[in-house]
Structure formats: structure tokens, C-alpha cells
Structure 1
Amino acid sequence: MAEAERIIGTPDTPDADREEQERTGTGATAAEAGRPRGKRRIAVLFAVAAFAYALDLISKMIVVAELEHQEPVEIVGDWLRFEAIRNAGAAFGFGEAFTVIFTVIAASVIVVIIRLARKLYSLPWAIALGLLLGGALGNLTDRIFRSPGVFEGAVVDFIAPKHFAVFNLADSAIVCGGILIVLLSFRGLDPDGTVHKD
């Protein structure tokens, strides 16, 4: 009887259950497949964040050592130059009177991204959030460890395009991550990988 059920493939048999789960993507098979995908996306998020953070940190160390208190270095004529400045405000020099508030906001963004990572199954979202996380960590490091004091530190900016505010690589990562999130939202792609239509 068991042999006949195996050949016919009745739903009562374990083999049939396993085949049904694989066909429909339900049950333990789908869950086990989903977990590694989620872990890979989280790994991408933190890898992108680590790369953006390291790039920002190294660039600021070089700028402080080589450019601070020096004449600006022209890169593309007077259209783009490197000029070391200390910025107590937000990105691009806005709101210098609210340094502590911007520090709290940056810390909050980092916490939100880390919490959101648990539900992350989308590669583009992982990249976008990784850029945001790396940029936020980069500027938060300056806020904590640079003068004039903890949570009031001035951020090192050095990229100075003509007729534009001076910024750094952390600012660039934050802006690129934000733009990517807006594009993903317009396309209806959620962080968990689902696509919704409005």
C-alpha cells in the first residue's frame, strides 16, 4: 500500500508534501531559502556601509593632515577644488546652530537602518541603506570625536565645486542613498522585496 501511494503521489506522503512545498514555495523549504537570501542582503548592506565609511574616514584623515590650513588645491580649474573646512552644521553647511540636534538625528537614522535590516530582502535597498548607514556613521564619527567636543564636533568637508556648498564623501553617500531610495519607492519596490502598485 505504501509503495502504491508513493508511485501515485498521494498528498499524505512525505515525498508528495516535499514536492508540493518546492512547487508552491511554501513551508520549510521556502523559509530555509528565504533566510540565506535575507542574510546575503544584510551582508551587502554592511559591506557597502563599511566601504563608504572607510572611504570617508581615510579621505578626512588625509585632508586634515595635508590640506588643513593650506591653500585650496585646484582639481578642475576653478570649477572643482579641494579645500579643508570644519562644518558644525548639517550636510553642505546648513544649520550650524543645531549641531547636537543633527548628531541625534544621525544616530537615530543609524538605529532605524539597523532595525530595518532584519526585514531586508531587496538588493537595491541593501545598497541604498548601506550608503545611508556609511555616510551617517562617517559624519557621526566627526560629531563625536572632533573638536570642540563630544556630540558637538565639526565635520571635515573638502569637496568644493564652484558656486556650491563644500561637502565630503559621507554627504555624497547619504545623497546617493537617498536618491536611490526615492527611485525604488517610485518603482514600488519595498525593502522586503515585494512590489506594490498604487
Structure 2
Amino acid sequence: MSRNQARRFAIACIAAAAVVMIDQSSKAAALTVLSEYQRIPLLGDLLGLQLAFNPGALLSLGSGATWLLTLLGVAATAMLIVAAARARTTGWAVGVGLILGGAMGNLIDRLFAPPAFGRGHVTDFLAYGNWFIGNFADVALGAGVMVLAGSLWIRRQRTRTTAEGDHTATAPMLEVGR
């Protein structure tokens, strides 16, 4: 691993660790302070705080197969660690690190939260209107996807600019050769 690669891997690991620390501490606070039966409004009906336990994935999909979601979480975490080690840009490292941290935050719940090891329910507390209730790990997952999309867009713009610059630089030379 080159020095730059090691630096990008470290950035991804730091981002992931920060997400896990914030996610797990915010879930611990939510468990202490919030209730499943009462919502605390933050931005009217748009955003509030309410405790929930999700056996499934996004929007409670797969709630009957929590053990399978745990296995998928372990596999995704392993693949994200490999992706972090192979990150070619700092932006990519940050994006993968955010996604890795989000995946690990929810995986920790699946492994260690009730009702049983490997079948734990994810602690959620960020209530988005009447749509769904999530947590900080979910926010990090979404932010990571946006960072990766932004990195890809920037890379595409740079590639397009470079290609256009090469085309205009060679075009006059082609006409001279005729």
C-alpha cells in the first residue's frame, strides 16, 4: 500500500469511527431520554424525536429476516473495508468511510441489541414526519452516498474538461496535416 493509499484508508477509518461513536452515543442517549409513545417535535411535524426499534432494514423491509440482515451487514462491512483500502481519492475515502460507519453502527445493534445476538433490533429515534424513523447511522449512509455521487460528478467533469482540452489542442494539428 502506497503512502497516499494508506492516508486515504486512514481518512476512511477515521470517518467510520466518528460515525460509529456519534451513532452509538446518540442511541444510548435516545434509550435513556425518549419514549416509543411520545414524539418530541423539533421542526413541527417534519422532524421530531421518538424511540423505535426496527427489526428490518429501510422502512422495516425484511423485518422477518433479521438474521439475514445481520449476515448482509457483516458482508457489506467487509466489502466496504476493502473499498476503503482501495480508495483512489480523498472524496471517495470520506464517502466510503461514512457508509462504512453507518453500516457498522446498525450492525452493532443487530449483533448486540435485544432480542438476541445476531437478531437485534436497530434503535431509531429521528422521526421524519409520518414517513419513517431513523438514526444517525442512516444519516451517515445517505451522506456517504451523496459524497460518492459528488466525487463521481467532479471526476466526470474533470475528465470531460481534460478531453475537451485535448480535442481542441489536437484539432488544429489535424487540419494542418491535410
Q: Give me the TM-score of the superposition, normalised by structure 1.
A: 0.73
1:154-175 per-residue CA deviation (whole Å, 9 max, x = no partner) reads 0001111213211111011112
Deviation, 1:70, is 5.6
SS of residue in 2 equivalent to 1:156: strand
CA contact (8 A) 2:8 2:85 kept: no
SS of residue in 2 equivalent to 1:68: coil
SS of residue in 1 equivalent to 2:91: helix
Quick one: which amino acid aligns to residue 134 of structure 1?
A: G
CA contact (8 A) 2:84 2:97 kept: no
Deviation, 1:80, is 1.4
CA contact (8 A) 1:49 1:130 kept: yes
Instruction: State the alpha-carbon separation in 2 of the partners of residues 176 and 92 from structure 1.
Output: 18
1:114-152 per-residue CA deviation (whole Å, 9 max, x = no partner) reads 122332231011001101110011000000111110111
Equivalent residue number for residue 57 of structure 2: 90
Quick one: which amino acid aligns to residue 101 of structure 1?
A: L
SS of residue in 2 equivalent to 1:178: helix
RMSD of the TM alignment (CA)?
2.2
1:124 corresponds to 2:124: no
Instruction: State the alpha-carbon separation in 2 of the partners of residues 117 and 130 from structure 1.
Output: 7
Deviation larger for 98-107 or 80-89: 98-107
Instruction: State the alpha-carbon separation in 1 of the partners of residues 100 and 39 from structure 2.
Output: 29
1:164 corresponds to 2:131: yes
Alignment coverage as a number of residue pairs: 160
1:49 corresponds to 2:11: no
Quick one: which amino acid aligns to residue 100 of structure 1?
A: W
Instruction: State the alpha-carbon separation in 2 of the partners of residues 158 and 108 from structure 1.
Output: 26
SS of residue in 2 equivalent to 1:111: helix
Deviation, 1:69, is 4.7
Matched-pair identity in %: 28
1:110 corresponds to 2:77: yes
Instruction: State the alpha-carbon separation in 1 of the partners of residues 144 and 83 from structure 2.
Output: 15
Equivalent residue number for residue 20 of structure 1: none
Deviation, 1:108, is 0.8
Deviation larger for 67-76 or 170-179: 67-76
Larger radius of gyration: 1
Q: Which runs of 4+ in 1 moved over 6 A?
A: none
Gaps of 5+ in 1: 1-33, 190-194
Quick one: which amino acid aligns to residue 139 of structure 1?
A: N
Instruction: State the alpha-carbon separation in 1 of the partners of residues 85 and 23 from structure 2.
Output: 26
Deviation, 1:68, is 3.3
